[in-house]
Structure 1
Amino acid sequence: MPPSDRRAQPPAHRSGRYTRTRTGSGRPPFRDRDRCERTRSEPELSTTDRPGASSPAVSRRMSVHPRKDTGPELAVRRALHAAGERYRVFVKVPTAPRRTIDIAFTRAKVAVFIDGCFWHGCPDHGEVPASNTDWWIAKIHRNRVRDADTRQILEDAGWVVLRFWEHEAPEQVVLRIRDQVRARRDDLCVPDAHPRSSPSIRP
């Protein structure tokens, strides 16, 4: 073909992109489409109808709010570690990998969640913002429905689920967790992860 008759060819495949004009349907290749189908299995609250912050101060405060490793979570984890308990954090929930367990005792199958009073609708300290009230009521309701669904998934898989509010004293939370973990270890005949070593006896 003479150089003057050459038409501009479509660019070669680029990482993370796909060409829609070749398929005619505007759908991604099979590999990307399968991935999209998997992500649709667990619907999330759409961000398109999310209202803007009522003020720059509120926007800054919400942007720095941690989604994990919160102060109450860290306090409970430190107290558990000081009491000799060993655990895992952010373990994926079976059949729902986009959800995680805050503190998991995988051998005893005990799942612990430390719920924020605002995000999960604490009856004592949960407050609905004065701005965009309807949206926030729906948002918190979805969070509570998700919590109940997560509990059901874990219990169906043989886990015991413990949920605590962030305002509860870490010492009391740890006592309840340890009691449940010990009971589960006895029921499942699971040895302690770190048993105390008995003193050696010399002949």
Structure 2
Amino acid sequence: MTTDVFDPAKRSAVMARVKSTGTTPEKTLRRLLTGLGARYRLHRKDLPGSPDLVMPGRRLVFFVHGCFWHGHDCARGSRVPKANRDYWLAKVARNKARDARNGAALTQAGWRVETIWECQMKDEAALVERLKENLSHGRGFSGTGEDL
């Protein structure tokens, strides 16, 4: 077991600065969707899980998940810190359970739910194609970057 390089007060301050909204991956997704001519709302608190981006007319929501925090099965997401291992395993398990509950509630309410993982942001071309596919299932999308 490794010891933390920070004292508990400093570690708390560092962890408190971890953002939940306005992250770089979220901003990237917003930029790509705007480039496709899509309109969206941010962080609707009245929906389960407060999705990162919401397209009410399309009944489509996007969650942008950090691989580590939400336990993605990529190299970064499957990594577990050596310090406080049991805490982190439980934390990520709770996050995954909450994500599943929120996704199920949204689906039950008639929403399409898309999860974009942090690691998927590396291949913007593939992500744009995926976004086009999702948008083409909604109403009024021409596929040319213009909403009709």
* TM > 0.5 fold call: yes
Partner in structure 2 of residue 164 of structure 1: 116
Question: Which residue of 123, 127, 130 maps to 1:173?
Answer: 127
Query: SS of the residue aligned with 1:164?
Result: strand
Tell me the distance in 2 between the aligned counterparts of 1:123 and 1:178: 24
Partner in structure 1 of residue 31 of structure 2: 78
Structure 1 segments of 4 or more deviating over 6 A? none
Tell me the distance in 2 between the aligned counterparts of 1:135 and 1:76: 31
Question: Which residue of 76, 87, 112 maps to 2:40?
Answer: 87
Question: Which residue of 86, 93, 99 maps to 1:141?
Answer: 93
Query: Does structure 1 residue 182 correspond to structure 2 residue 140?
Result: no
Larger Rg computed on CA atoms: 1
How far the C-alpha of 1:54 sits from its partner, in A, is: 2.8
Tell me the distance in 1 between the aligned counterparts of 2:106 and 2:46: 7
Partner in structure 1 of residue 102 of structure 2: 150
CA deviation profile, 1:96-144 (whole Å, cap 9, x unmatched): 4xx3011111111011111101100121112211111101100100000
Q: Specify every segment of 5 or more residues in structure 2 that has no aligned partner in the other structure, as ranges.
A: none
Q: Specify every segment of 5 or more residues in structure 1 that has no aligned partner in the other structure, as ranges.
A: 1-52, 186-190, 196-203
Tell me the distance in 2 between the aligned counterparts of 1:171 and 1:65: 28
Query: SS of the residue aligned with 1:101?
Result: coil
How far the C-alpha of 1:180 sits from its partner, in A, is: 1.6
- Higher RCO, 1 vs 2 (CA within 8 Å, ≥6 residues apart): 2
Tell me the distance in 1 between the aligned counterparts of 2:15 and 2:126: 29
From the two aligned structures, give the one with the greater helix fraction.
Answer: 2
Query: SS of the residue aligned with 1:113?
Result: strand
